[in-house]
């Protein structure tokens, strides 16, 4: 199994959680994604952190999902969502982990 973690630093007082949850719905409809997702927020450590975790069965599943999402990235709905997300985000990074 593979876990992707998108870690975002959010601008002070801004809501990224609802935007990320909306993107999860968009992924399920637009890219046919069926894996498990969850949204985490900081309890300790760096403040204003939002983590979006997605599970994939294996690297092939990850690759197939990325290919399907590339099509979704070109849609008007995604571009509108991305503008909202970018407006409240200061920075982000992608982390990929093998689940042992």
Q: Is residue 99 part of a domain?
A: no
Do 28 and 34 touch, CB atoms closer than 8 A?
yes
| Residue 26 or 15, more confident | 15
pLDDT of residue 30: 61
Q: Is residue 59 part of a domain?
A: yes
Q: Give the separation between CA 18 and CA 39, rounded to whole angstroms.
A: 10
Q: Is residue 100 part of a domain?
A: no
Q: Can you give the CATH number for the domain in which 32 is found?
A: 3.30.70.100
Q: Buried b vs exposed e over 3-37: b needs ≥16 C-beta within 10 Å?
A: bbebbbbbeeeeebeebbeebeebbeebbebebeb
Tally of CB atoms within 10 A around 74? 8
Q: Which domain holds residue 58?
A: 2-94
pLDDT in tens, 16-72: 888 777 776 777 766 666 778 899 999 999 999 999 999 999 999 889 888 888 888
Q: Which element (helix H / strand E) includes 68?
A: helix 59-73
């Amino acid at each position: 199994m593979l876990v992707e973690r998108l870690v975002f630093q959010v601008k002070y007082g801004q809501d990224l959680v609802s935007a990320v949850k909306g993107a999860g719905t968009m992924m399920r409809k637009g890219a046919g994604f069926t894996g498990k997702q969850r949204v985490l927020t900081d309890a300790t450590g760096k403040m204003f952190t939002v983590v979006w975790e997605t599970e994939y069965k294996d690297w092939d599943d990850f690759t197939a999902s990325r290919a399907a999402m590339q099509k979704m990235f070109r849609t008007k709905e995604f571009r509108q969502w991305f503008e909202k997300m970018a407006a409240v985000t200061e920075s982000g990074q992608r982390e990929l982990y093998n689940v042992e």
